[in-house]
Structure 1
Amino acid sequence: MESMLERDAAEVQLETNEVEAEASHHQKVRHDWINETENVHQDMINETENVHQDMINETENVHQDMINETENVHHDMINETENVPHDGVNETDNVRHDGVNETENVRHDWVNETDNVHHNGVNETDNVCHDGVNGTENVHHDGVNGTDNVRHDGVNETENVKYDGVNETDNVRHDGVNETDNVKYDGVNETDKVRHEWVNETENVKYNGINETENVHHDMINETENVHHDMINETENVHHDMGQRDGYHSPRRGQRDG
């Protein structure tokens, strides 16, 4: 019995020694994860510095939220290299950046911006506020590839007025795409000096349909004359209610045929 007690006591002492050795092996701080090596609070793994770290492989003396950060400022992402707060990745300048690979001394919100003004998009290159992508002129742009001195809302606009669509080229407000004249357009591929609501209209009046070519109000498509039409493929100068008529008014044509 005495021998068993001595053996039990020896085992207890051995376990105590192991616990003490384990305690001396670690630092006297709070650890939440594994392979931590410093005297500060760490939440993840393989952290190596004396500051609060939330992720892994951080190496600097400031607060870091992600991984592989290398500078003395607050970083939110990864591989940031400058002395200002950064929100993105691979930023290289002394201002606040929100995106990636920004290179200038102003606030940027996107990626690969290169000038000294506020940019919201990507690859903008001029000294005004841009909201889109590849804006290149001295005015406010909202879309992409805007190139002139007015506010643009769309893409590839080239003139001196406000545009809402894409590939507009004239001096009035446009709402659609590929418009080319001096009035307000609502549709696409319109080419004349009146308000259009559809596509491929070419005349000086209000159109509601498609491929209309005359100077009156049209409601449908492929109409070509100077009166109000309600259907399609009408070609004459009176009011029609159906389609594919070639004469004037139906009773008048019937009288002529008779």
Structure 2
Amino acid sequence: MITSLAQRIYEKRLRRALAVVQRHVAIVTDGNRRWARQMGYADARTGHRHGAAHLERVLGWCDEVGISCVTVYAASADNLRKRAAGEVGHLLRLIEEACRERLARPSSPWSVRTAGRIDMLPDSTRLALKEVGEATLDRPSTLTVALGYDGREEVVEAVRRRLAEAAALGESASSLAERFAPDDIDVHLYTSGLPDPDLVIRTSGEQRMSGFLLWQSAFSELYFCDVYWPGFRKVDFLRALRAYAGRMGAATD
């Protein structure tokens, strides 16, 4: 009881320290399997279930502090290719369940979109993502689920689309090359129309991007948290925002 009260007081102090409210926070939700092992579960897939349920809680924290754009790294293209079929199938079923039972809930403020190789997903997962996207289209905040995602593949695909667009208009490659600019890539990314992330948080203690939003995070602040994703607490979240606010304050001094 005393610990819980002390934590609430500390959280209030952290919230008061947040002078800068971010538009877009991206999260690498890493460590589900290691969390399950740490907690003594025999089946590491239990970590995925707890991780999927935890997302709704974290989105609530984002809503509380005025963050209206969140991108979560659910699974990379490499994960889908190399992980055991049973584990991948279990993860995708959890995503389908979350789409239909949590994210599509009328009380949720989050519009859901997807970033990644949708063609890598089974029909049932594609249908669930399509349904939740259509059902939440007009909601005020945006949740992007990066699934079957690879940042380098995204940039390559964006360039291909721009070249194909130019060819369809009869423009030569040399003419396009003369005026090619970052905006030519921006408009063809999976995240087209969204602001670049202000802050990228990675849980689990790993300190690398793993191909996540490589183009979009060129000027983002990075925050690495030592706890595994299902154990990521509100106090950890607020500390990440405080660190961001502190860096932004230092940058303007």
Same fold? TM cut 0.5: no
Higher strand share: 2
- Report the TM-score, using the length of structure 1 for normalisation: 0.18
- Report the TM-score, using the length of structure 2 for normalisation: 0.18
